[in-house]
């Protein structure tokens, strides 16, 4: 193409397709992200009629709460978003979203108009059926277990106290609930954060090819329930843990002998950064390995991008024996891969870094995964990012 032909093509370009587009500046990109994030909060209020809360029904609501909390603590962002805050999100005073009456677009919309109700002249509704037998009621269960006060709780109270002490002393551990066969008399479990003890298992009954039995479960808060075995198992799968026996911990200790070779430590760190973007990430932890003491390595954390250029707190350490520690660490990182937290920081020279090994995962879940990793059971489990828990593979 000649220069003359190119000039004619540019002159005839009414849509501006041949004009170079201006490059986005980092400032514009950051402002767009701020606006898009705030618009998502506005849409949530319009849908739910309220602002997101910390203990929301789902992970998305909790993330939105964290984002809103971070914006409220940033005066510059509040000032920028104030013209768009039609529901008072920034001040914490949520106005009820205005619901506009949609224009009728179908015959059903017209028939549903409240105006037609005022014209009612006593004509029977054509959709009211007469002389037709009603459908049979759905069969209800014969009995539904209910919580009630435990009259003889004093008999079990000391056992609960001893179990809590043994958990704190790490003589017992909390592990994922794997199958119904783990429900036995005299064993402890944690259901929705409450310790419970199974004291009785009734007669086994077969129904639809599956065995079941009525249990007596005593809860640490002084209540009891006679739920079915399969019902308890179902609840423990969703939000529960089993408590190990004392001899399980003792056996693990006995397996370590003088001939065993210490490979190092798997450690978990919590960031103490005051940066709003970092503080806004829930359950932010670094999972790494160390051949020797980790305390020495984190002394200069505030000047190292690996630690987000901020001090860190050591949360947990796990000593490993007779293993290839890098492979062990790599397997753990892959287990939580879809929960990786991609945080960008700048070093003292102004260079950008995206440190690895940081994850948005509850600490209890990390500790359970590490223990499953060390025992070799982790291959039977996977991480559910929606519930923040470790689940047995189906």
**Digit-coded pLDDT (tens) for 278-333:** 999 999 999 988 877 777 788 889 999 999 999 999 888 877 777 677 888 888 88
Alpha-carbon span 101 to 72, nearest angstrom: 32
- Is the full-model pTM beyond 0.95? no
pLDDT value of position 339: 92
Contacts of 172 (CB under 8 A, 6+ apart): 163, 166, 188, 243, 244, 245, 246, 248, 249
Tokens in use for 83? 């013209």
CATH code of the domain made up of 148-252? 2.30.30.30
Alpha-carbon span 329 to 373, nearest angstrom: 9
pLDDT value of position 335: 92
> Do 70 and 26 touch, CB atoms closer than 8 A?
no
Alpha-carbon span 358 to 349, nearest angstrom: 22
Collapsing DSSP states into helix, strand and coil, what is residue 243? strand
Alpha-carbon span 307 to 299, nearest angstrom: 10
Contacts of 43 (CB under 8 A, 6+ apart): none
pLDDT value of position 284: 94
Stretches where the chain sits below pLDDT 50 are: 22-28, 95, 98-100, 118-121, 123, 135-141, 248-256
Q: List Cα–Cα distances, 370 to 182, 230, 289, 338, 340, in angstroms.
A: 21, 28, 12, 17, 16
Q: Euclidean distance between the first and final Cα of the chain, in Å?
A: 63
pLDDT value of position 57: 57
Q: CA quadruple 186, 188, 189, 192: dihedral positive or negative?
A: positive
Phi, psi of 146 (to 5 degrees): -130, 150
Phi, psi of 321 (to 5 degrees): -130, 145
pLDDT value of position 252: 42
The chain-wide mean pLDDT, for the chain, equals 78
- Ranges for all domains in the chain classified under CATH 2.30.30.30: 148-252
Phi, psi of 127 (to 5 degrees): -95, 0
Q: pLDDT, tens digit, for every residue of 68-107?
A: 888 888 888 888 888 888 888 887 755 455 444 555 556 6
Collapsing DSSP states into helix, strand and coil, what is residue 14? coil
């Amino acid at each position: 193409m000649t220069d003359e032909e190119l000039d004619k093509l540019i002159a005839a370009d009414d849509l501006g397709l041949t004009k170079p587009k201006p490059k986005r500046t980092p400032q514009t990109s950051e402002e767009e992200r701020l606006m898009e994030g705030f618009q998502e909060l506005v849409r949530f209020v319009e849908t739910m009629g309220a602002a997101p809360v910390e203990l929301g029904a789902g992970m998305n609501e909790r993330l939105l709460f964290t984002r809103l909390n971070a914006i409220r603590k940033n005066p510059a962002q509040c000032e920028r978003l104030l013209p768009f805050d039609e529901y008072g999100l920034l001040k914490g005073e949520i106005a009820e979203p205005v619901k506009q009456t949609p224009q009728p677009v179908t015959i059903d919309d017209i028939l549903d108009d409240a105006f037609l109700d005022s014209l009612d002249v006593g004509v029977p509704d054509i959709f009211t059926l007469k002389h037709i037998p009603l459908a049979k009621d759905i069969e209800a269960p014969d009995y539904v277990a209910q919580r009630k006060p435990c009259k003889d709780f004093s008999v079990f109270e000391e056992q609960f106290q001893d179990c809590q002490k043994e958990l704190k002393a790490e003589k017992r551990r909390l592990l994922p609930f794997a199958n119904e066969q783990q429900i036995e008399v005299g064993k402890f479990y944690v259901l929705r954060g409450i310790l419970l003890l199974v004291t009785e298992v009734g007669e086994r009954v077969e129904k639809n090819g599956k065995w079941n039995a009525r249990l007596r479960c005593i809860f640490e808060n002084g209540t009891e329930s006679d739920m079915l075995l399969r019902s308890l198992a179902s609840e423990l799968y969703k939000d529960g843990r089993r408590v190990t026996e004392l001899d399980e911990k003792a056996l693990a200790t006995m397996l370590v002998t003088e001939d065993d070779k210490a490979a190092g430590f798997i450690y978990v760190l919590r960031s103490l950064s005051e940066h709003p973007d970092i503080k806004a990430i829930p359950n932010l932890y670094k999972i790494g390995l160390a051949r020797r003491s980790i305390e020495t390595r984190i002394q200069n954390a505030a000047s190292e991008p690996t630690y987000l250029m901020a001090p860190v707190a050591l949360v947990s350490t796990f000593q490993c024996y007779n293993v290839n520690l890098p492979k062990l660490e790599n397997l753990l990182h892959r287990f939580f891969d879809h929960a990786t937290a991609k945080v960008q920081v700048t070093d003292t020279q102004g260079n950008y870094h995206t440190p690895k090994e940081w994850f948005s995962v509850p600490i209890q879940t990390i500790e359970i995964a590490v223990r499953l990793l060390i025992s070799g059971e982790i291959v039977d489990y996977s991480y559910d990012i929606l519930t923040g828990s470790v689940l047995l593979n189906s």
